[in-house]
Amino acid sequence: MTNKTFTRDELRKYNGQNGADAYIAIDGIVYDVTHSPAWKNGIHHGYQAGYDLTDALYKVSPHKDRVLANLPKVGTLVGEE
């Protein structure tokens, strides 16, 4: 994992739209989902890349640990909620 830090405003730039990379944050770690087929155009099951999806993931994803283990970690999320 790189030592890059992202504020919530910076993370929102990585929404997978218009050629942008797609990043999501879970438990303070920022993951790159750009090349994941499940995140085509930065959207997966109605969730948009570029956001902290911790709460959403814990509610709806029974396979989160397995999936997160295979995603590149690109940094950490910092700042207020």
* pLDDT tens-digit readout, 7-45: 999 999 999 999 999 999 999 999 999 999 999 999 998
At 59 the pLDDT is 74
At 65 the pLDDT is 76
Strand runs labelled E in the chain: 5-6, 23-26, 29-32, 43-44, 47-48, 73-77
At 14 the pLDDT is 98
The C-alpha angle 6, 28, 13, rounded to 5 degrees, equals 35
Confidence of residue 1 (pLDDT cuts 50, 70, 90): low
Q: Which CATH number applies to 5-77: 3.10.120.10, 3.90.550.10, 3.20.20.150, 3.40.980.10?
A: 3.10.120.10
pLDDT digits (tens, 9 = 90+) for 39-71: 999 999 899 999 999 988 877 776 677 888 899
Cα separation, 48 vs 56, in Å, equals 11
